[in-house]
Amino acid sequence: MTRTTLNSSQTIPSNAPQWAVMMRRFNNLLMYDLGGGPRPWKFAWIINFQKGGTFFFLSLLMWLYAPHTAAATSPAAWIYLALHGSYGLVWLLKDFCFPDPGWQHRITIGGGLFALFGLAMYWSFGWLLISGTATPHYPLPDAAWFVLCISLVITGSAVMIAADAQKFYTLRLKRGLISDGVHRYIRHPNYLGEMMIYLGFALVVMHWLPFVWLAYIWLSLFATNMVMKEASMSRHPEWATYKKRSWWLIPFLL
């Protein structure tokens, strides 16, 4: 199987679906190559700035809005700060211990600004809640709803970190298909973990914007990356057996 270069940083297998090739090309243009010119920073620097700054950004919002709205210091706001803020700090720890090679590519100034805008959209979730713009009405009693949201974020973080750690350390020792551990029954556990985390955030806020933004990211970026990954993994002899006994993303459903 041959591989085709899409840009200076990524290649794709020749058997990837055409729609995925087009989406990857579009995503790469926006995130890596927008505007052309010099590439002064790594994608990882943009991501880590946003992730690591989330706790401080949300805390600042709560301080600024506290004199103006009770929403800024509501139980939902404090819980959201603990969840989203701590997740950002956990991400920094993960990146320090086992950085993802995919985020180490250098990107253009335009690409960096676009990436920063996209990541700042996640900050808008907290702003909606803390500013009182979102007035969440939960379908369950507040305490029960918060249990659901917290459980999603904690479990998703464990799945994501375990999957990334297994991939990082396994591939350092042996290249090939990873089909055991966290990947035994789910082919994309890292994406499942990320989706659980951000779904938990959105369910705390309960505003239409987070759900629309997550749908866009999951369909345009996550789905494309997962399809590309499967096209690449299909070159391994054991792929057919692994695919038959595992789920794409969600056990027993998908």
* pLDDT of 163: 96
Would residue 132 be called left, alpha or beta, if left means φ above 0 and alpha means ψ between -120 and 50 degrees? left
* Rounded CA separation 247/185 (Å): 6
Would the pLDDT of 5 be above 90?
Answer: no
Across 175-200, average pLDDT: 95
Mean pLDDT of 77-90: 97
**pLDDT number for residue 102:** 85
Tell me the average pLDDT across 13-25: 88
Q: What is the predicted pLDDT for the residue at 218?
A: 97
pLDDT tens-digit series, residues 95-152:
999 999 889 999 999 999 999 999 999 999 999 999 999 999 999 999 999 999 999 9
For the beta carbon of residue 137, count every other beta carbon within 10 angstroms: 8
- pLDDT digit string, tens, across residues 150-182: 999 999 999 999 999 999 999 999 888 999 999
DSSP assignment of 96-144, as one string? HHS--GGG-SEE-HHHHHHHHHHHHHHHHHHHHHHTTS-----SS-HHH
The number of helices, as runs of H, and strands, as runs of E, in the chain is 10, 4
In whole angstroms, what is the distance from residue 252 CA to residue 247 CA? 7
Percent of the chain with pLDDT over 90: 88
pLDDT of residue 251: 86
At residue 199, does pLDDT exceed 90?
A: yes
Q: Is 210 exposed, middle or buried (0-12, 13-18, 19+ CB in 10 A)?
A: buried
Average pLDDT, the chain: 93
Q: What is the mean pLDDT of residues 208-213?
A: 98
Can you tell me the mean pLDDT for 53-73?
97
- Least confident range from 5-19, 125-139, 144-158, 199-213: namely 5-19
pLDDT-derived band at 242 (thresholds 50, 70, 90) equals very high
pLDDT > 60? residue 2: no
**pLDDT score of 15:** 83
